[in-house]
Amino acid sequence: MSTDHRRVLVVVEDEPDMVLLIHSKLFVDPRLEIVGDATTADQAIELARTTSPGLIILDHAIEGDVMGLQAAPALKAAAPNAKILLFSAFDLKAEAAAEPAIDAFLSKSDISKLLKVVQQLLELPPNGGTASQP
């Protein structure tokens, strides 16, 4: 498997505490590498284009005029091989399912499932980390 497929780009999170929480949830699996964070769609698209991530974790409510769901097609165009996980406090399951650029949806209320969902999207066997999940 290419290293690119293990890269994670935390895209749409403009809340520093949530960025830290996402990082801490993913840090336990040494196969995952967070290559960048962005707070706006423009920043996220540029990072996706320059880092070729395997996965983009995308919040819906981000800074700027373009929301996460609307940014998804441009992100997919910038990183065509990336999976996109819409990770939002809003109930956007139906909207995420209707958007071809979105590969999965996870509610922020289910953050305990984040690592498992990321591993599934990247086709990584679970329990690949050496540390216990916080």
Class of domain 3-121: alpha beta
More confident residue, 116 or 126: 116
Taking residues 14-43, what's their average pLDDT?
Answer: 94
* Predicted confidence (pLDDT) per residue in 56-104, tens digit: 999 999 999 999 999 999 999 999 999 999 999 999 999 999 999 999 9
Q: Indicate whether this model's pTM tops 0.85.
A: yes
Contact 59, 68 (CB under 8 A): yes
Q: Please tell me the total number of residues recorded for the chain in this structure.
A: 134
Task: Give the mean pLDDT of the chain.
Answer: 90
Angle in degrees, 0-180, between the axes of helices 68-78 and 41-51, rounded to the nearest 10: 20
The tokens 């590969």 sit on which residue? 103
CB-side neighbour CA atoms (13 Å) of 43: 18
CA angle at residue 112 from 106 to 117, to 5 degrees?
A: 50
